[in-house]
């Protein structure tokens, strides 16, 4: 891998904001989330990522709503320096060239009218190969009507990405960003690197979600795991504890040498490849730790150590079932 030198950019991920099932979200934590949001802006985070599907049950849309509320408490100068991106879910009932019109306007309202990038949350290629093109037509129409935003994609494969690039080009539009699962524990990293190459050729931002693998990559291998988590996250941690031990030991060796956290090591692996990681954070102290990643870079040797350990890891995270070819 030829190292790509660029200004490090981190995205703040907000999937956990409103998610009780996986992240044990509580409404009482909202002020703590605001402190996290505010500190992220103070530390130079310039990309905030959400989705209209973030928020479980009665809390549907909660993540967008919280961001909209938090934006009202932020000074204008800081607002101007960040991009707010949401993802619209192409549910089977959101069909035709108007399928996204109402969801888009609801998201825009929840986000207090600050919305810079609208992303197709996943491709419908596997169950309705024409639906996502109709919905992309819808986004093009909204832009032509005067709404100002860029078009992004999520959970997209290289073949579908190329089709959509050409589809939008015919409409004098372009793909601004592509977001896929990408970490030391993600599957099909060769496929993801192929997507990255297409993005580079077309000047598209490549965004990595779950760069810390739900927090698995932050678990110190020398400490017995005693974290308080949801039942599902506990199951995931128990499942991946032993298979990832060798990888986390290599990460620990680098983190000790650098006086850095395991999270910083995982993110610098992303940066080494010219990737913009989207990091899910819920606490101010997490922001302060993550921001130390700006202070150091992986060497080629350290990167190769991580690559070898990653490839040797026998158990990777499952691929997103909605990811297209």
85 vs 210: CA distance, rounded Å: 16
Measured CA to CA in angstroms, residue 203 lies from 66, 136, 192, 200, 259 at distances of 31, 19, 16, 5, 35
149 vs 84: CA distance, rounded Å: 10
289 vs 196: CA distance, rounded Å: 27
Query: Residues in the chain, how many?
Result: 325
Catalytic residue numbers read 54
Give the DSSP per-residue string, 225-273: ------HHHHHHHHHHHTTTHHHHHHHHHHHHHHT--HHHHHHHHHHHT
SS3 breakdown of the chain: % helix, strand, coil, rounded to 5? Answer: 45, 10, 40
Tokens representing 292?
């130390």
Nearest to 96 by CA among 138, 42, 155, 67: 138
Nearest to 265 by CA among 253, 283, 279, 282: 253
Tokens representing 304?
């190769």
Q: Which phi and psi (to 5°) does residue 131 adopt?
A: -60, -45
303 vs 308: CA distance, rounded Å: 9
Handedness of CA 260, 261, 267, 273 (dihedral sign): positive
CB 180 within 8 A of CB 168: no
Tokens representing 62?
């909660």
Task: Count other Cβ atoms within 10 Å, centred on residue 114.
Answer: 17
């Amino acid at each position: 891998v030829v190292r790509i030198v660029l200004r490090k950019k981190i995205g703040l991920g907000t999937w956990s904001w409103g998610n009780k099932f996986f992240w044990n979200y509580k409404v009482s934590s909202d002020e703590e989330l605001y402190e996290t949001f505010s500190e992220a802006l103070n530390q130079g985070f310039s990309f905030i990522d959400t989705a209209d599907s973030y928020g479980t049950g009665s809390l549907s849309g909660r993540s967008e709503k919280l961001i909209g509320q938090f934006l009202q408490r932020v000074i204008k100068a800081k607002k101007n320096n960040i991009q707010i991106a949401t993802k619209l879910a192409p549910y089977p009932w959101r069909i035709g060239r108007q399928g996204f019109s109402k969801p888009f306007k609801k998201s825009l309202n929840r986000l207090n009218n600050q919305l810079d990038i609208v992303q197709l949350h996943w491709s419908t290629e596997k169950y309705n190969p024409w639906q996502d093109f109709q919905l992309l037509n819808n986004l093009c129409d909204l832009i032509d009507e005067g709404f100002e935003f860029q078009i992004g994609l999520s959970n997209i494969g290289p073949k579908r990405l190329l089709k959509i690039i050409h589809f939008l080009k015919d409409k004098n539009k372009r793909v601004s960003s592509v977001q896929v699962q990408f970490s030391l524990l993600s599957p099909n990293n060769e496929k993801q690197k192929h997507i990255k190459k297409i993005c580079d050729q077309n000047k598209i931002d490549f965004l990595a979600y779950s760069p810390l693998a739900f927090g698995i990559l932050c678990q110190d291998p020398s400490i017995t795991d005693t974290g308080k988590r949801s039942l599902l996250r506990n199951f995931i941690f128990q499942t991946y504890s032993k298979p990832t031990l060798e990888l986390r030991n290599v990460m620990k060796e680098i983190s000790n040498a650098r006086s850095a956290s395991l999270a910083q090591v995982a993110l610098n692996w992303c940066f080494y490849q010219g990737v913009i990681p989207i990091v899910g954070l819920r606490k101010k102290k997490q922001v302060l730790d993550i921001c130390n990643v700006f202070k150091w870079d992986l060497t080629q040797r350290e990167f190769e150590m991580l690559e070898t350990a990653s490839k040797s890891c026998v158990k990777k995270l499952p691929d997103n079932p909605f990811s297209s070819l």
